[in-house]
Structure formats: structure tokens, C-alpha cells
Chains A and B, each alone.
Chain A
């Protein structure tokens, strides 16, 4: 069975500050890991994904995440927050040739001016 845990349901940062959203996974097989962003009343948009290639993954909008097997983590970071980054972020896990994707509870990012 696979699962992800997002630490912190709400993160607030100032504009220009570092963004760090935490995600830990549990999987009995090599995982595929994803970060999605959701704006109000919209579907999910893929930010980035890890599928067993490079452990440091760069995504859209300046976000990146690092897969750390020893820590079973896949934290999302961005060096400098922008007001437009305010949204809900979901970490998710699946595996090769299996589309049964499981989501974390989500982290709401607030960016203060």
C-alpha cells in the first residue's frame, strides 16, 4: 500500500521568502511522486514529478523537489514566494504502470505582501 503525509495543513510565508512544503511517503515498491497545485474551484495542475530518474526534480513556476529515499521524503521548495503561488498543494504517490494515485491531505499556502 502507498500513502503520503503532508506535514502542515497551512503554511504562511512572506512574499520573497522561501517556500517549503513537506511530504513524506510510504511505499512498498519504488514510488512515483507528484506535486499538484489547485487554485479555487479548479482542477489539479501538475507542478513536478519524480519517476525514478534524477532525485532533484525541477517543475513549473520555479518549484523544485528532492526525492530522499533515506528520509522517505519529497519536499517541495521555491526560493522566493510570489503572491500568485497562494493555492492548495497536494503531494501524491503512485507507481509504475499503476494509476492508483493517492493524495496527501493538502497544504494551503498563503503568501503575505
Chain B
């Protein structure tokens, strides 16, 4: 079964509104989670690293004010796309690391955002 859960799977919103995507680790704690963005037929691009109890670390070129990340607890990270525009439409995937230093990541099911 899934060990990382994302919600919602699909979301459609109007331009200018904000959308929140949740990422939960199930049955394990994750002090760090990762948010990726995936364009059609392309690879995953790391957007930011979510850190429990501290600020997220953003990759170069990712707008911090556009993509707000909050790691409120050891099992929950949220990504809020603020003032969404059609170019923000994409597939967003979160992940959490497997414990034990293996470098392996568990991935959520992904969230498809469409901004009209």
C-alpha cells in the first residue's frame, strides 16, 4: 500500500485563486519531504525541500512567494500555489525519504493541477 499520500489527485481552479496540495507520510515520520513538478512527457524537476519546523529550501528559479510550502508536522507537508495562472498547470508530486540512509524516496500519487 501507499506510504505517501497526496490530496487532491485532481484540481481545477480559476486563474488568480490559490490551491493547496497536501502530502502525508503514512505510518512513518518525515522531517524532510520533497516537492517535484512534472511537465507532460518530461522528467521530475525538484522544486523545493520541505523541512519540518523550519523554512523550505527552494531550488534556483522557483518562486518562493508563488509556491508556499509548510511542513506543519512530522507527517504533513503542504504546497500552496498562490494566485495561480494557466502556466502553473502541471503535475505536482511529493516524496518522503525512507528511513535508514538508503537514499530511497517514497512518492505520492501526484496531483494534477489545471488552472483555467
Contacts and interface: CB of A to CB of B under 8 A. Distances in A.
B101 A97 contact: yes
A46 to B, nearest CB: 7
Contact of A42 (B4, B41, B95, B110): B110
Interface in B79-115: 91, 93, 95, 97, 101-105, 107-110, 112
Given A41-B110, A99-B32, A99-B34, A46 B104 contact: yes
B105 A101 contact: yes
B109 A43 contact: yes
Given A90-B43, A90-B44, A104-B43, A96 B101 contact: yes
B43 A95 contact: no
A4 to B, nearest CB: 10
For chain B, the bracket of interface size reads 20 to 34
A34 interface: yes
B103 A43 contact: no
Contacts of B102: 32, 49, 51, 96
A83 B96 CA distance: 30
B77 interface: no
Interface in A31-89: 32, 34, 36, 41-46, 49, 51
Contacts of B91: 41
Contacts of A102: 46
Given A103-B44, A105-B42, A41 B103 contact: no
B10 to A, nearest CB: 8
A101 B103 contact: yes
Contacts of A49: 102, 104
Given A32-B102, A101-B105, 11 more contacts: A32-B103, A42-B109, A49-B104, A51-B103, A90-B44, A94-B105, A96-B103, A99-B34, A103-B43, A105-B42, A108-B41
Interface of A: 32, 34, 36, 41-46, 49, 51, 90, 94-106, 108
